[in-house]
Amino acid sequence: MGIRVDVVASSYEELPLDGVEPRELAIAHARGKAAGAPPCATLVAAADTVVDLDGTALGKPRDPGESRWMIEQLSGREHRVHTAFSLRDDGSGQALTECRTTRVRFVALSSDVIDAYVATGDGLDKAGAYGIQGFAATLVERIEGDYFTVVGFPLAAFAQSLPLVGYRLCPPDVSRRTPDPYSTEVSA
């Protein structure tokens, strides 16, 4: 995409917020992470993803037992994934927060499949105990909405929001690309 990214730590401590709806929780955490980033000469972008099962936020599991419980709860059911992102430009003082939601339906999973997935440890660092971009893609029957929202960063919404804080995303200049030495061109 042609974006140079520098990862910086935020001082924000992501704690549960009692009584806050899952969508609002994602927004609060994204804002907190952006506000907790050190002062910066370029655009700060922070995001947070929350899995919402019937109004209950499923965060990152504490251990494999909680991971298994979450996957059991999602099995054969639909849930929502809310991903919020917050942009902060210290130079202009502009800030913006957006949130996108995608519906996800899991297939009905057998205990053996759940056990095998949990044993990979893949979901221990992910909201709802799964990451759609990995093996957990095989657990998903369908989605309604943006795939990248489920991954954890809604790229199209991010690109559309950039002009609102004085930035823009431009496609790379393909005329300047180095030719692929392994490609074959056929001319008539």
Q: Is 80 exceeded by the pLDDT of residue 33? A: yes
Residue 7, in any domain of the structure: no
At residue 174, the pLDDT reads 57
Q: Is 70 exceeded by the pLDDT of residue 183? A: no
Predicted confidence band of residue 176 (pLDDT cuts 50, 70, 90): low
Predicted confidence band of residue 170 (pLDDT cuts 50, 70, 90): confident
Residue 67, in any domain of the structure: yes
Tell me, what CATH number does 99's domain have?
A: 3.90.950.10
Residue 167, in any domain of the structure: no
Mean per-residue pLDDT for 26-55?
A: 96
Q: What is the mean pLDDT of the chain?
A: 90
Reference 73, options 108, 21, 115; nearest CA is 108
Predicted confidence band of residue 4 (pLDDT cuts 50, 70, 90): confident
Report d(CA 148, CA 155) in Å as an integer. 6
Residue 27, in any domain of the structure: yes
| DSSP H/E element including 105 | strand 94-106
The b/e string for 31-41 (b: 16+ C-beta within 10 A; e otherwise) is bbbbebbeeee
Q: Please confirm, yes or no, whether 6 is among the known catalytic residues.
A: no
Residue 157, in any domain of the structure: yes
Residue 6, in any domain of the structure: no
Mean per-residue pLDDT for 37-55?
A: 95
pLDDT > 70 in the chain, percent: 90
Q: Which residues pair with 87 in a beta bridge?
A: 45, 96
Burial class (CB in 10 A: 0-12, 13-18, 19+), 145: middle
User: Range of 72's domain?
Assistant: 22-161
Out of 6, 18, 48, 115, the active site residue is 48
Phi, psi of 143 (to 5 degrees): -130, 155
Number of domains in the chain: 1
Q: Is 70 exceeded by the pLDDT of residue 63? A: yes
Q: What is the pTM of this model?
A: 0.88
Mean per-residue pLDDT for 77-106?
A: 97
Predicted confidence band of residue 186 (pLDDT cuts 50, 70, 90): very low
Residue 13, in any domain of the structure: no
pLDDT tens digits for range 108-152: 999 999 999 999 999 899 999 999 999 999 999 999 999 999 999
